[in-house]
Each structure stands twice: as structure tokens, then as C-alpha cells.
Structure 1
């Protein structure tokens, strides 16, 4: 196959990927999917010694880039026609700040979205609780879930970048059907 043939194949595959993404966004707008995303940029790994859930000064937090990413996510969602949305977040400050930075409404804490990075033996418990919480969402409602890499990887097998989102078909299959993978900013 010559260069022209390769170029045509590449362009066709890009068109198919964009069409798939549009279908994912449409499913999200219609409440037939959920958006699960990793919190925006927060330098470092895990949490420092002395971490306390009730004290953001003891945690790894968003930097300026992360706060800008959160605002950009809000714009992206509004531009995609998503304004009436239920926002659920991990109780970790970096996830909560990401959700709040989107400025789409009240953020509700959901412990099933909390990181289990420091307690890997609890992965199945957290993933089961997350599946149960998603199953309990009001049918047809639009939901955005802000969580951590370990939670998304346990649920989907994908290692997301900071600020990356996945649109998952509802009801959640085992493994979930990924309708779109939304790159971070």
C-alpha cells in the first residue's frame, strides 16, 4: 500500500473515532451513559505521610494547571450541551476541587469514589460499591463522577491520565463498554 492508501486509511479511522466519540457524548446527554474522570493535575503520587481526609493541607492538591483543567472541563461539558448534571466526587480534596472547578452545580461526595491507593486490598470492595452507586442513579439522569486513577483502572482496566475522562455505557457491563475516551487538556 502506498502513501496515499495509508493516508486514506488514517483519515477514515479518524472519522470513525470521531463518530464514536459523538455517539458517546450523545449517550451521556441522554442519560444512557456516565462520565467518569480522573481528577485534574495534582503533582506527585499518592498522599503525603500524615494525610487526613478532613484537612486539604495534608493532601496532594491541584496546582494552577489542574485548576485550569477543571474550568476547561466545565466549558467542554457546557459546550457539549451538558448543563443539568449530577456531579459526584471522591472526598479527596483534589477530586472535589476538580468537580467544583467545573462550575456545573453542587458537588456531592461519594465514598465509593475515594482512592484506595494506600489500601490496595480494598479494590474489590470499592469497585463493587461504585458499580452499586452507578446502578442506583436515576434512570435518564446525567452524571459526572470525579475519582482517582486506581478506581478507574479497577473498573475499566484503563490507566487514565490526570484529567482524562471515559464515557461508559449504562447499565455498566462487566467490563464496562467505553463509548468515548476524552483526552485531558
Structure 2
């Protein structure tokens, strides 16, 4: 079987990008998917030594560009009258802020947290839990969920990288493994 490459979607960036964004819109309207976003722009890499998950002053946070990017993400959904059934976020401040600015207050979900804050055993269980959540969401036609998380979580879940603010439209395959159906970057 030939692996299907996901579509690169760049909404509002070009006529082609707008056409491909319509594909993401179609998938979201049909439901049975999750759009998993990497948090919006938060300059730097990794959190500083001694960071605390519940203390934003110790973490890498969104800058002005990241906050504007998160608002544009939400506007894209509002303009298309797309309302997620659930919005879940990593407990890291940059993810909560992205979700809040785009969609309103999210459900905080530790399984979406950065692996840098947890043990290897916890990370493995989190991935199993995310696969179960994706399988459940994949059965709900007409509805979709939004997850806001980290590059490392998306990479571990899908085997693919992601950019700040990029969304991966996911569905569970018959064997339960995640399939990336499309990629959405809102310029």
C-alpha cells in the first residue's frame, strides 16, 4: 500500500492555499476528526531550567506575534462557522494561551503536555491515552475536537514535525494508529 502524503494547507496565504484550506474545512465539517495544533509562536526552544508547569513566569510564553497568530486561528474557525465539540490543551501556559485566544477557555489535559515535564512511563501512557481519545473522536461524525499541544507530542503521536500554530487534521485508522489527513497553517 502506498502511503498518502498529507496536504499542506496555507489558509489565506494564496489562492492555492485557500483552496486547500477548503479541504480542511470539508474534513472538519464531516467530523470524526481532531485538529491538533502546535501552540502559537513562543520564541526560543525548551523551557528554562527550573520551570514549573503551573507558573507561567517560569515558562517560555507566546510573544505578541504568537498571540496575534492564535487570534487569527480562532478567526478562521469563526468565519467558517466551525465550532469544535471540545477544546483540550496541554497544561503549559503557551498552549492554554493559544487555545484561549483562539477558542475560549480549554479543558486542561495533562496527556497533551510536553514530554519534557514528565517521566518516560508517563509519556508512554499519555500517547496511549491520546490514541484512545483520537479513536473515540474518529467515531463521532459531524463533530470535531481541537487539541493544542507541543511539537514533541505531535511528532511522537504522528511521526511528523509541525510549525508553531500549525494544525494537523487527524483520524484514527482501523488499527488505531493516527493518520494525518491534512495540515492547516493560518497565515
Mapped contact 1:40–1:67 kept (Cα < 8 A): yes
Aligned residues: 171
Aligned to 1:53, what secondary structure does the other structure show?
A: coil
Where structure 2 has 5 or more consecutive residues not aligned to the other structure, the ranges are 1-13
Summarize the Cα distance change of 1:84–1:143 in structure 2 as closer, same or farther, 3 Å threshold.
closer
Structure-1 residue corresponding to 2:151: 149
- Higher relative strand content: 2
Q: What TM-score comes out, normalization by structure 2 length?
A: 0.79
Equivalences for residues 1-185 of structure 1 within 5 A? 21-102=21-102, 104-117=103-116, 121-122=120-121, 123-137=123-137, 139-140=140-141, 141-170=143-172, 175-185=177-187
Write out per-residue CA displacement over residues 136-179 of structure 1, whole angstroms, 9 at most, x where no aligned residue: 44823321000000000011111101111111124675542222
Contact 2:33 2:134 in 1 (8 A): no
Looking at structure 2, the residues matched to 129 and 30 of structure 1 have their Cα atoms a distance apart, in angstroms, of: 24
1:69 Cα shift? Answer: 0.4
Output the aligned Cα RMSD: 2.6
Q: Looking at CA atoms only, which structure, 1 or 2, has the larger radius of gyration?
A: 1
Q: How far is the alpha carbon of 1:111 from its aligned partner?
A: 0.9
Q: Shift in Å at residue 100 of structure 1?
A: 0.2
**Preserved CA contact (<8 Å) 2:134 2:171:** no
Shift of 1:18: 6.9
What TM-score results when the alignment is normalised by the length of structure 1? 0.80
Cα distance in 2 for residues equivalent to 1:144 and 1:96: 12
Q: CA, structure 1 residues 135+175, in 2 after alignment: closer, same or farther (shift >3 Å)?
A: closer
C-alpha change, 1:170 and 1:18, in structure 2 (3 Å) is farther
From the superposition, tell whether residues 81 and 89 of structure 1 become closer, same or farther in structure 2 (CA, over 3 Å): same
Deviates most, 127-136 or 70-79: 127-136
- State how far apart, in whole Å, the 2-side matches of 1:146 and 1:64 are: 18
Could you list the runs of 5+ residues in structure 1 that have no partner in the other structure?
Answer: 1-13
Whether contact under 8 Å (2:84, 2:145) holds in the other structure is no
In structure 1, how many angstroms separate the alpha carbons of the residues matched to 2:99 and 2:38?
10
Q: Relative to structure 1, is the Cα distance of residues 105 and 79 closer, same or farther in structure 2, using a 3 angstrom cutoff?
A: same
Q: Secondary structure at the match of 1:117?
A: helix
